[in-house]
Amino acid sequence: MPDMEQAVTFQDPAGHAVSGILATPPHGSDRLAVLCHGFLSNKNSHTNLALTERLLPQSIATFRFDFFGQGESEGPFERITVSLAVSQALAALDLMHSKSYRKLALVGSSFGGMVSLLAAAKRPEVSCLALKCPVPSFPAMLNSEFGSLPGQASVPKDAPLPVRSPAWRSSAPCRPFRRC
């Protein structure tokens, strides 16, 4: 782990241990991007490492973490839910805010993109949201990849993911994070 990276373990609201890595620029910063990985991935995904490498020289710290049951985080992988992942992203934001990061972004890839969108809808203080190939409907994605499980109804591929936050209906476009 490079000198600018520190292993961090925190607890989500359900008491699960979550493994993360805080990467900080050499001269400090109050700007930080929480990086949310995709399904069947982990905090050290190619995307998260590339983003960290690009953001640190711009004085933007990153915090990447493993969702429940993935990478080094606690829990049986097969019990992860979208709401649990969202609660972990929110706990990561709270932890980074407690460490004096004031300009926070959420960056998510695939499953992490959906989680980031839902988490940002609950936190208007998030300065920026960046999504890479976000999954609009997790059950539909699972059905298309694996089919429905015996005894369970299949979810239509075009089933919408309801996002009912007033913040998203009336919010201004996201400004580039470097200007936040």
Dump pLDDT digits (tens) for 30-69: 999 999 999 889 999 999 999 999 999 999 999 999 999 8
Range of the domain at 97: 5-145+161-179
**Would the pTM count as exceeding 0.75?**
yes
Using alpha carbons, select from 39, 37, 31 the residue that is nearest to residue 116.
37
Using alpha carbons, select from 107, 40, 27, 100 the residue that is nearest to residue 70.
40
89, 34 contact by CB (below 8 A): yes
In a domain, 52, yes or no: yes
In a domain, 41, yes or no: yes
In a domain, 130, yes or no: yes
Dump pLDDT digits (tens) for 103-153: 999 999 999 999 999 999 999 889 999 999 888 765 665 566 556 555 555
Q: How many other C-beta atoms are found inside a 10 Å radius of the C-beta of residue 165?
A: 14
In a domain, 151, yes or no: no
- SS3 (DSSP) at 6: strand
pLDDT-based confidence at residue 77 (cuts at 50, 70, 90):
confident
Q: Residue 57's domain is classified under what CATH number?
A: 3.40.50.1820
**Domain total for the chain?**
1
Greatest alpha-carbon pair distance for the chain in Å reads 56
